[in-house]
Each structure stands twice: as structure tokens, then as C-alpha cells.
Amino acid sequence: MNNSLLYFTILNEESKSLGFLKKVRSQCKAFEKLGHSVFLGILRNTEYVIYRVVNSGFERETSFHFGSIMESIRSRASIIKRINNQLVLSKIMRFTQEWCRKKEIGAVYIRRFALSHLVIRFLRSLSHQSKIVWEYPTYPWISEYRHSHSLFRSIVERSLASLLERHIDLIVGVSGISGFEREGLLLTTNGVGIDELPMRERPFLLRTIELLGLGKITSYHGYDRIIKGIADYKGEYEVVFNIAGDGNEIDNLRKLVNSLNVDESIKFHGVVDGKKLDDLFNKSHIGIGSLALHKIGGQYPSPLKHREFCARGLPFVHATDDPDFAGLEPFVKKVEFGEDPIDIQKLVTMAIEIYNGPEDGRRVLRDHAARTLDWVVKMKPISDFILRNPHGAVKSNRN
């Protein structure tokens, strides 16, 4: 049985999108724990690096220097940028395919990226020698894709997606709800690397309640609802909202903070990791999950931040139908859906009830994460599929 596996992504290892990078590395470690010989292929500035995963560490196996930075493509990207990206991607894919052939890689797990006829040709050639698993980080993917791309690009992507399925063995769809099941599609939700996240310390609750927002900040996080809620709040507690991360919504949030004159209550920390992030968790009372996924048709939620809050033992609120947190009240609560400011008094009451009670939720949430959210648990059905199904069997049935 060939258990070798390459995780292929064109995320940049130098990116500030720490949540996505943590997810990829944690998935690789999970595959190793499940018995695979794992490699990770990932961008690093002007080179494509393949690492070997050894005892949950990453050792450089080989690399390919392509000489030109691949830039993210947005709806209004220039033709020159698009052409340059395709040229770079073509070099990376040729390098990867030849490396997979020499190493006799049994399976390639691919995190979704923009499709083109070049990509389809790469998948077709690769599928002759390896099983291919294609992950959609959000499924169904089209609503979120339309939010950040032009209508024309969305139409092209959708047409190429139908060609994609001819050359892959399994689609992994990260989806918050069921109902899309079919042969060759495995639905799951996001997980978390439990071993990589320390359980937080219990903070004191005096006259200040600290809230924590986390991630690559976009409009659909809905943090404006918290800021407006703090501006409306007239209670006796001081409420501070710490925002850890960057993103295209930060400037809008700063302007909102200034216009509402709540500068003292909103703290922008930028991208933080390691001990600085641990310190933020240790002093926080309530985590702020996703509050506005409806802006991108987000009825299929599985936010990474919810899972990190849970793994670290931080009670949190959200406005989604995330299925992995049912029955965890009072430590996980769903707040009202929509555009209205969040009622901060309800968050204050939640914090008082938790931190003046015998159980602050840390152990309850941590145990729940270990049982149901760890990436080893989430990746096992995918691993089983790869190890048990002959190359091309499901693909042949689908086609």
C-alpha cells in the first residue's frame, strides 16, 4: 500500500493569514498521525518548497526557485499580473508533477485555488499517477467566490469546476450543513490542532470585561456590530474589544471607532502570534465569533476562529448555524442574526454568570474540542478513503 501523500497549496508561507497556515500545517500533521508519509508543498516568496513532515515537524525536502513573486489575483487585477501568475504557476506545477513521479507519491491533497485550463491539464496528467483529493474550504463555494471576484470570473470558474471532477478521486467540502451528499463528495467541518494551542488561564473579572476578535478581518466578521454596541452601551462595566489580525476591513473599523468616539474601548493589535496571542487569550473573557456571514451567503459556516476559541477554553458568541457547538451553553451562545448592533449588556451578563460561577468553561470547551474538533478526528474519513479505495475507482463511477 502506497501511503505517501503530498499536500499541495499555493498559499504563501510568509503570509499574514496565520489561521489558514495553521490549518494547513495541522492537517498535514493529522495525516502523519493517521499513518501517511506526508509532504507539504507551499509557496515561500520566490520559491516553491516541499517539506517532509517528520514527528509533526517540517523538514525541507526540496525546492524550486521560480524568480517572480506570485501575487493574489483580485477582480480588477491587471492582465500582466494574471499572465505572470499563470507563468509562475505553470513552472510550479511542472516541478511538482515531476517530483511526484520520481517519488511515486500515492495521493495529492490540494487546497482549492483558482481554476484555469492550465490547472485542468495539470490535474489530468497528475491523475494518471496519483489519487487526487480537492478541498473546497467553503462548500458550496460559489456564494463566497462571487463576493470577491467578478461575475465573469465566477462564470469561468463554475464551468471549469465541472471539468475538474473528471480528474479527481474525492472532493472534500467544508460545509456547516448536510444536504449536498453525493458519490465522490465528503462533507466535513473545520478542525483545530489541539496539541498546538495551550489552554488559557482563568482571568479575573473585576470592573472590566475583555472581548476578543481574531483572524483575517473582513466585513463578514461583523465586528462593526460589536463596536456600535459598545457605543450604545451605558452599563456600569467597562467593555474593551481587542481585535487581533489585519485585513481589508481594518481601515473601515478604525473610521467607525473614530466617528463613534470609542477609541479607548477598541484596541487594534495587528497580526499577533505566539506568546502575545496567548496573553490576549489569557486576559479575555468572551470571544467574538463570526457575526455577519450572511453578507457572503454564509449559510454553510465553519469558522476557524470558533474552533480556536473552543480549543483554548474561551467562551464565545457567534451568529451562525455552526453545527459543531450545539449543547455547549452557557459557554457558547448564539446572538441575534442581522445588521443591528450587538446588545453588549447580554455579553456582560454572560461574562458575570460564567466567571462568578464554579465553572469558567475552560475544561468543558477543551474536552469538547479534543473529542470532536481535533484535525485527526476530522481528517480520518479522508485518510480512510485514500488508503482503502483503489486509484480511480470512485472517479470512474462519477464519470
Report the range out of 52-56, 71-75, 161-165 with the highest average pLDDT: 52-56
Residue 398 has pLDDT above 60, yes or no: no
**pLDDT exceeds 50 at position 355:** yes
Which residue has better confidence, 35 or 154? 35
**111 has a pLDDT exceeding 60:** yes
Q: Are 135 and 111 a contacting pair, CB within 8 Å?
A: yes
Query: What pLDDT does 255 receive?
Result: 98
pLDDT at 314 over 70: yes
**How would you classify residue 300: left for phi > 0, otherwise alpha for psi between -120 and 50, otherwise beta?**
beta
- pLDDT tens, 12-32? 998 777 788 999 999 999 999
For the stretch 202-248, pLDDT in tens is 999 999 999 999 998 999 899 999 999 999 999 999 999 999 999 98
- Looking at this protein, which amino acid is placed at residue 42? I
DSSP state, 272? -
pLDDT computed for residue 172 by the predictor: 94
CA distance readout (Å), 322 to 176, 271, 393: 6, 25, 33
Tally the residues of the chain.
399
Angle among Cα 63, 378, 127 to the nearest 5 degrees reads 45
Q: Which residue's C-alpha cell is 489585519?
A: 246
Task: Give the strands of the sheet with 4-12, arranged side by side.
Answer: 57-65, 47-54, 37-44, 4-12, 107-111, 131-136, 170-174, 185-188
Residues 287, 189: Cα–Cα separation, whole Å: 20
pLDDT band at 338 (very low <50, low <70, confident <90, very high): confident
Residue whose grid cell is 473610521: 255
Whether the bond between 390 and the residue before it is cis, its omega within 30 degrees of 0, is no
Residues 375 and 52: their CA atoms lie apart, in Å, by 19
CA-nearest of 129, 124, 128 to 164 is: 124
Task: Quote the CA–CA distance of 311 and 306 in Å, as a whole number.
Answer: 9
Give every CB contact of residue 183 below 8 A, 6+ residues apart in sequence.
394, 397, 398
The CA angle 89-94-100, to the nearest 5 degrees, is: 120
Determine how β-strand 57-65 pairs with β-strand 107-111: unpaired
| pTM, 2 dp | 0.90
Q: Which long-range contacts (CB under 8 A, 24 or more apart) does 92-96 make?
A: 92/10, 92/43, 92/48, 92/64, 92/66, 93/118, 93/119, 93/122, 95/48, 95/64, 96/6, 96/8, 96/41, 96/48, 96/50, 96/126
Give 269-288 pLDDT, tens digit per residue.
999 999 999 999 999 999 99
